[in-house]
């Protein structure tokens, strides 16, 4: 068990897990329609998903251009994405609680699925 976490592996790709999150969002849309949940919540989750991944892509491209700012830029990106997500969700709570809860749960489900696919990709990869 100790070697499971100490064995270096290559970083998994980001495309397939992100597409998995998109699939979760697309599957959630008919559920929102049938259940009568607020579509604004689904829309907010989708906009957050796309926007934060676009920011991730922008920061990844910026990290490739500079050798010395890679780690600080990644840390800034993680913090900035978290702050943006929380600010938007808190603003949504102030405007309409049902929309905010629907958006938060939908985004959390897509994020969890993406994280699971990333972990499968990482631990399923060959050891270096």
Task: Give residue limits of the domains in the chain.
Answer: 13-123
Q: CA-based angle 118:121:127, to the nearest 5?
A: 130
Distance CA 32, CA 35 (A): 5
Give the confidence band of 4 by pLDDT, cuts at 50, 70, 90. Answer: low
Helices 70-95 and 97-123: crossing angle, nearest 10°? 150
Report how far Cα 28 is from the mean position of its chain's Cα atoms.
16
Model confidence pLDDT, tens digit, residues 75-109: 888 899 999 999 999 999 999 999 999 999 999 99
Distance CA 57, CA 77 (A): 10
On whether the CB atoms of residues 20 and 113 are closer than 8 A, the answer is yes
pLDDT computed for residue 126 by the predictor? 75
Q: How confident is the model at residue 25 (pLDDT cuts 50, 70, 90)?
A: very high
Give the pair of three-digit tokens for residue 47. Answer: 């906009």
Pick the range with the lowest mean pLDDT from 30-44, 59-73, 91-105.
59-73
Mean pLDDT along residues 56-70 = 77
């Amino acid at each position: 068990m100790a070697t499971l976490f100490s064995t270096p592996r290559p970083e998994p790709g980001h495309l397939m897990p992100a597409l998995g999150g998109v699939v979760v969002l697309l599957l959630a849309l008919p559920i929102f329609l049938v259940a009568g949940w607020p579509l604004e919540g689904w829309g907010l989750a989708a906009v957050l998903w796309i926007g934060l991944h676009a920011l991730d892509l922008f920061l990844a491209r910026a990290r490739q251009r500079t050798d010395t700012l890679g780690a600080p830029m990644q840390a800034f990106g993680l913090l900035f994405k978290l702050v943006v997500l929380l600010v938007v969700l808190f603003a949504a709570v102030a405007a309409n609680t049902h929309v905010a809860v629907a958006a938060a749960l939908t985004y959390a489900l897509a994020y969890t699925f993406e994280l699971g696919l990333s972990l499968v990709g990482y631990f399923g990869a060959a050891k270096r």
